[in-house]
């Protein structure tokens, strides 16, 4: 078991390169199943979720290797159709392998996915869309057995909610299907655009990604390519929150301002100066942060739910009263009790959290409740007086590539220890 020991009180300063995006790398790795050739994915972060995806690829018959941030996948032998339960339980994004394996082999057998406990995240939309594309699905004892007796075929799919996972699964299933697939009310996240661009580089025909309607025209086969994973917008927001909370000044190299355009105004309302460039972001925090009237999480291009806990940690010391409204997940305030242990004054009721800024936070023994909640506690600890012991950090390793090294590079006093 490991934990982070964080000594607060240091202002973060300096520059750091933003890692590749977890939420982009995972569907790209799933997409490798469809490709009859070798794929080289650059800027692929060293995350436990990425390692789990590579293990799934290996079980399916692909060959995977990693060197200096580049993952190489040769899926020419990926003809197996069963994903073991223990691998499916490791991460929520494992469900995107369903569309990819169906597209490659015409059949797939897997269990329901795992991941952080953020409340109900049903896959009904995924399954409904696949049925429209000719997939027969039998569910028994938590296992999905899927077949395509007549092969996958294009279809019109109307999503009731712009689900990222459902949009990705449909895209992966559709690229080798017969005919055209049109997704209405598609998710617009930058990671959707990254998946479309990657598949197009491999010979797919996808248009409209980034908008509400995506069209996929099926092709006969896909070929290998080299591709770089987009920078992680939530990691960028994490560093910005840490800079704001500690009164620091940092530069985020490789960050794309357009990906977090709903987040930047929140930091400006806190009193931070944010300077935007084509391939980097600079943020300079004031000595005293100001409260923000209301932060509402929404599907992209709205404020991302993944950044909510992290920004809440910065607002805990902002002068005045801030209100956060969580509109995506039911169980996304699990970090609040841990922040209160550190001296924060936060009250929650249903979707709403009311944050009364305090003068100081204090080091404490806290536990990461989930991936982003753990990052929020790390941000709070960097700005707190005294020492914080943060446990259950394996959840943070799902989305942050050695977060202690990144914060240390910026001047934070943080180390990983065994216990």
As annotated, the active-site residues are 116
Per DSSP, the residues of 12-69 read PEEEEEPPBPHHHHHHHHHHGGG-SSEEEEES----HHHHHHHHHHHHHT-EEEEETT
CA dihedral (110, 27, 115, 264) in degrees, to 10, reads: -160
Give the fold, CATH level 3, of 2-19+231-418. UDP-n-acetylglucosamine1-carboxyvinyl-transferase; Chain (3.65.10)
301 prior amide bond cis, ω within 30: yes
The 3-state DSSP class for residue 404 equals helix
CA 20 to CA 22: how far, in whole Å? 7
Which pTM value belongs to this model?
0.95
pLDDT tens profile 229-263 = 999 999 999 999 999 999 999 999 999 999 999 99
| C-alpha–C-alpha distance, residues 32 and 199, integer Å | 9
- Residue 274 has, within 13 A of its CA and on its CB side, a CA count of 26
| Alpha-helical runs (H) found in 286-329 | 308-315
Largest CA distance in the chain: 65
Q: Where are the domains of the chain?
A: 2-19+231-418, 22-218
Residue 114's SS3 state is coil
Residue 233 phi/psi, 5-degree rounding, is: -70, -30
Spatial separation of the C-alpha atoms in residues 113 and 94, rounded to whole Å:
6
Per-residue model confidence (pLDDT) at position 92? 66
Q: What confidence score (pLDDT) does residue 114 get?
A: 56
Q: What are phi and psi of 369, to 5 degrees?
A: -80, -25
Which of left, alpha, beta for 91 (phi over 0: left; psi -120 to 50: alpha)?
Answer: beta
Low-confidence ranges of the chain (pLDDT < 70): 92, 114-121
pLDDT for 119: 44
Condensed to tens digits (0 to 9), the pLDDT of residues 381-395 reads: 999 999 999 999 999
Q: Is 328 annotated as a binding residue?
A: yes
Structure-block tokens of residue 251? 């530069």
**Quick one: the chain helix, strand, coil %, rounded to 5?**
35, 30, 40
Residue 397 annotated as binding site: no
Tell me if 291 sits within 8 A of 267, measured CB to CB: no
- In CATH terms, the superfamily for domain 22-218 is Enolpyruvate transferase domain (3.65.10.10)
- Residue pair 366/390 in contact (Cβ under 8 Å)? The answer is yes
**For 69, phi and psi rounded to 5 degrees?**
75, 5
- Written as one string, the DSSP assignment of 125-180 is HHHHHHHHTT-EEEEETTEEEEE-TT--B--EEE-SS--HHHHHHHHHHHTTSBSE
As a dihedral over the C-alpha atoms of residue 49, residue 51, residue 54, residue 59, rounded to 10 degrees, the angle is -100
d(C-alpha 210, C-alpha 272), whole Å = 29
Residue 92 is assigned to a ligand binding site: yes
């Amino acid at each position: 078991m490991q934990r982070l020991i964080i000594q607060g009180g240091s202002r973060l300063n300096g520059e750091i390169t933003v890692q590749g995006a977890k939420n982009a790398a995972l569907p790209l790795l799933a997409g490798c199943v469809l490709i009859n050739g070798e794929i080289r994915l650059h800027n692929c972060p060293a995350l436990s979720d990425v390692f789990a995806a590579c293990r799934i690829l290996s079980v399916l018959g692909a060959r995977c290797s990693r060197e200096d941030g580049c993952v190489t996948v040769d899926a020419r032998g990926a003809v197996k159709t069963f994903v073991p339960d223990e691998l499916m339980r490791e991460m929520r994004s494992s469900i995107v392998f369903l569309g990819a394996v169906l597209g490659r082999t015409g059949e797939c057998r897997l269990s329901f996915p795992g991941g952080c406990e953020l409340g109900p995240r049903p896959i009904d939309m995924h399954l409904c869309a696949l049925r429209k594309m000719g997939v027969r699905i039998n569910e028994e004892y938590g296992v999905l057995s899927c077949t395509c007796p007549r092969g996958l075929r294009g279809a019109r799919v109307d999503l009731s909610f712009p689900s990222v996972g459902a949009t990705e699964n449909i895209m992966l299933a559709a690229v080798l299907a017969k005919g055209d697939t049109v997704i209405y009310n598609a998710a617009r996240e930058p990671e959707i655009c990254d998946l479309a661009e990657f598949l197009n580089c491999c010979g797919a025909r996808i248009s409209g990604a980034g908008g509400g309607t995506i069209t996929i025209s099926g092709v006969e086969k896909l070929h290998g390519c080299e591709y770089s994973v987009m920078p992680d917008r939530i990691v960028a927001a994490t560093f910005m929150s840490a800079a704001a909370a500690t009164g620091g000044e940092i530069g985020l190299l490789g960050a794309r301002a357009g990906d977090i355009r709903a987040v930047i105004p929140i930091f400006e309302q806190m009193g931070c100066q944010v300077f935007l460039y084509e391939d980097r972001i600079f943020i300079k925090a004031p000595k005293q942060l100001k409260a923000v009237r209301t932060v509402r999480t929404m599907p992209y291009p709205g404020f991302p739910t993944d950044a909510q806990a992290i920004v809440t940690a910065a607002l805990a010391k902002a002068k005045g009263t801030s209100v956060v409204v969580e509109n995506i997940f039911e169980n996304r305030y699990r970090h609040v009790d841990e922040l209160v242990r550190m001296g924060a004054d936060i009250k929650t009721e249903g979707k709403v959290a009311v944050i009364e800024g305090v003068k100081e936070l204090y080091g404490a023994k806290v536990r990461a409740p989930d991936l982003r909640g753990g990052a929020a506690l790390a941000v709070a600890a960097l700005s707190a007086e005294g020492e914080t012991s943060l446990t259950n950090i394996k959840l943070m390793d799902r989305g942050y590539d050695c977060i202690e090294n990144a914060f240390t590079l910026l001047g934070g006093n943080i180390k990983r220890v065994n216990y």
